[in-house]
Amino acid sequence: MEELIIIGSGGHGKVCAEIAESMNKWKTIRFLDDSFPGARKCLDFDIIGKTCDIDKYSSHDFFVAIGDNDIREKFFEELTLLKCNIVSLVHPTSYISKYCSIGNGTSIHQNVVINTDSTIGKGCIINTGTIVEHENVISDFVHLSPNVSLGGRVSVGRKTWIGIGSTVINDIQVGEKIIVGAMSLVLNNISDANVYYGVPVVRSKESF
Ligand SMILES: CC(=O)SCCNC(=O)CCNC(=O)[C@H](O)C(C)(C)COP(=O)(O)OP(=O)(O)OC[C@H]1O[C@@H](n2cnc3c(N)ncnc32)[C@H](O)[C@@H]1OP(=O)(O)O
């Protein structure tokens, strides 16, 4: 069995470590986190160094467990330059159609459904209970928060974050670097890299 290093031991890191543990694939699961050496333990797992120690473990499997899409991408690119093996984490309670593809470095959390012919990019977070319906195209470093529902043929652009409990109806295109606030409803395409929220969504006043 291989050894897994998770970058980031915050709340998202804890969830990802538990998903990794449930996969029963790694002999050890350990963290790198900048709280080291003050913190040496996260749940049952050891914190063994800071994020600047990545190159000491380059023969191990890696996963970046950082919620911020920009920071997650930064570490993903660093690991890619070091030719590290970046794995995906898929909780056994999720359902992923055999006609889907999932990029590396993506986490698929408890009770997620990814339906037929959908594509999920690299470095994404598909959080607890989210439904990605048929023929979706989810680009790299997207975060779909818990209980998001995407109808059929939705596309979501690179580094977009869709907030908890939000719904996007079928055949909608959500562009890159967009934030959709919690409990929102997207009925029309949105393309400007801004913050949107509400039912249906409007652009946040702060965005202007
Ligand atoms: C496992 C996990 O925890 S994953 C993470 C889950 N968390 C989320 O999904 C959170 C998503 N974030 C949000 O919804 C945030 O409110 C954001 C990003 C949309 C906006 O955050 P901020 O820029 O800090 O906005 P702020 O809190 O200052 O609110 C600004 C205004 O927008 C309103 N507003 C903010 N979010 C929403 C929303 N989702 N729906 C309706 N109105 C909203 C506020 O009430 C406020 O209105 P006011 O000016 O009339 O008082």
pLDDT (tens digit, 0 to 9) for every residue of the chain, 208 residues total? 689 999 999 999 999 999 999 999 999 999 999 999 999 999 999 999 999 999 999 999 999 999 999 999 999 999 999 999 999 999 999 999 999 999 999 999 999 999 999 999 999 999 999 999 999 999 999 999 999 999 999 999 999 999 999 999 999 999 999 999 999 999 999 999 999 999 999 999 765 4
All domains in the chain, ordered by first residue: 3-87 (3.40.50.20), 88-197 (2.160.10.10)
How high is the pLDDT of residue 207? 59
The closest-lying atom of ligand 1 relative to the alpha carbon of residue 166 is: 9
Residue nearest to atom 49 of ligand 1 (CA): 205
Contact status, residue 69 vs residue 159, Cβ threshold 8 Å: yes
SS3 content of the chain, % helix, strand, coil (to 5): 15, 30, 50
How much distance in Å is there from the Cα of 181 to the middle of ligand 1? 5
Q: Is 198 exposed, middle or buried (0-12, 13-18, 19+ CB in 10 A)?
A: middle
Residue 205's pLDDT is 74
- Residues with CB under 6 Å of ligand 1 are 127, 145-146, 163-164, 179, 181-184, 195, 197-198, 204, 206
Local structure of 24: helix, strand or coil: coil
ipTM score assigned to the predicted complex: 0.98
Q: Which of 12, 91, 109, 134 is catalytic?
A: 134
Q: Which tokens is 138 given? A: 């989810």
pLDDT at 38: 95
Measure the N-to-C terminal CA separation of the chain; round to a whole number of Å.
Answer: 52
Q: How far apart are CA 3 and CA 10, in angstroms?
A: 20
Using CB atoms within 10 Å of the CB of residue 65, give its burial: 0 to 12 exposed, 13 to 18 middle, 19+ buried: buried
C-alpha 201 to ligand 1 mean position (Å)? 12
Measuring CA to CA, how many Å separate 196 from each of 132, 147, 182, 201?
A: 20, 18, 10, 6
Residue 134 annotated in active site: yes
Instruction: Look at residue 1 in the predicted model and tell me its pLDDT.
Output: 62
